[in-house]
Amino acid sequence: MELQRRHEATTKIEAGKKKIEWGSQIRSYTMQPYKLVKDVRTGFETSNVQGVMDGDIDGFIKAYLMEFSEGED
């Protein structure tokens, strides 16, 4: 019974996943001829590519939370 419960839980998680394919990216990175990182979901963008590569993603996190937390109580 435990194995069946785990299998059902795994199946539920897998059903919610998106396929990894062209066009399903979260962010696009352009480094030449100009610098731009853009979040496809929220439209947030920055020209600080090196900062994003170094882990400075607070702007992206805030934009995501602002975009997808509206209307949730």
pLDDT tens per residue across span 19-62: 777 767 788 888 888 999 999 889 999 999 999 999 999 999 99
The whole-number pLDDT of residue 69 equals 82
68 pLDDT band, cuts 50/70/90, is confident
Burial of residue 39 (number of CB atoms within 10 Å: 0-12, 13-18, 19+)? buried
Q: Please, which residues have CB within 8 angstroms of residue 48's CB and are 6 or more apart in sequence?
A: 35, 37, 56
Q: What CATH number is given to the structural domain containing 61?
A: 3.30.70.1660
pTM, to two decimals: 0.61
Inside any domain, residue 32: yes
- The number of domains in the chain is 1
Domain extent for 37: 20-73
Residue 68, CA atoms < 13 Å, CB-side half-sphere = 9
